[in-house]
Amino acid sequence: MEVQTMISYWQIISSGLLPIQAFKKACIVNITSPTEDEKDVLKSTFQIPEDIIQDIMDVDERSRLEVEDDKLILILRIPIQTPENGVPFSTIPLGIIFSDDYILILCQRENLVLSEFFNQKRRKILDYKNRVDFILNLFLHTTNMYHRYLRQINFQTNMVEKDLEKSTKNEELQKLLKLEKCLVYFSTSLRSNEFLFTKFKSSRLIKNNEYSEELLEDVMIENKQAIEMAKIYSDIQSGMMDAFASVISNNLNIVMKQLTIVTIILAIPTMIASFYGMNVPNHFEKTPYAFWGIIGFSVFIASIGIIMIRKRRWI
């Protein structure tokens, strides 16, 4: 069976990005979910070291910048949706390899960051003056995607909060725990990206090429804001989990108290019926109204019990 290629080529033009059919010098090469054959192409055609490819394919690889031969290698952590493993969001590494002949973008799986970045509508509204601005726009798009997912996490948290107010189970707390894990992933990756952006700002690529200082500043600001948002949401969730753990415990105590009260009230008629059901003379053996009298007496005593419990505000 023929394996579908995930390699695409793009050329920077005055009106944005233009898809091309084959490799050209100074073009952009985008590769997602590479096969073993495509990895061989990376090593043979683009001269990418095998250890760099393995690092980008490693889901736990941190953000970093390094120079190898004539290439500038950037590993950026990007957010992805991961509903398949129960945790809504996570992060993975995205490799950007810059050389005089190309910009190569490599990622282990398809993701919304790249699919939206190379979307037809988006690529026609951005003016990439040079290849450095292209990389900065990719950085900015990544941080904006963090913002979008953080807002979704906050929305899901608010939905869980409404269910927690009347819950006696742990399902909602488990949902909050998974959202908290997402925030931990985001916070760690955003701080790692911040270190990458700082090194990128002082790299030779920036020093030897023209670029938009305003765009670079926007990237730094948006990333800092995303870090602060993740921290705020994480602090809120931590406090919320502690508070609602107590709420769930309290709700359960209320249910148990109500069941105990019902048990006590029902025990009164049972006790009276047991007394009169004994094989002991009680002067009711030949009375035709004995049954209804005992029922009435049981209801009367139970009613007094209910009144006493209500006066003490137990229910």
CATH 1.20.58 location in the chain:
254-311
Dihedrals phi, psi of 96, to nearest 5 degrees: -125, 115
**Helical spans, DSSP H, in the chain:** 36-44, 50-57, 112-117, 120-123, 131-164, 171-201, 204-207, 213-276, 290-311
Q: What are 161-177's pLDDT values in tens digits? A: 777 666 556 677 788 88
CATH 3.30.460.20 location in the chain:
7-250
Spatial distance between the Cα atoms of 58 and 159, rounded to a whole number of angstroms: 34
CATH number at 254-311: 1.20.58
CA-closest candidate to residue 200, choices 79, 99, 73: 73
Instruction: Give residue 4's pLDDT.
Output: 41
pTM, entire model: 0.76
Domain topology for 7-250: Beta Polymerase; domain 2 (3.30.460)
Instruction: Give residue 59's pLDDT.
Output: 92
Classify strands 7-13 and 27-32 as parallel, antiparallel or unpaired: antiparallel
pLDDT cut 90: percent of the chain above it: 31
Helix (H) or strand (E) holding 27: strand 27-32
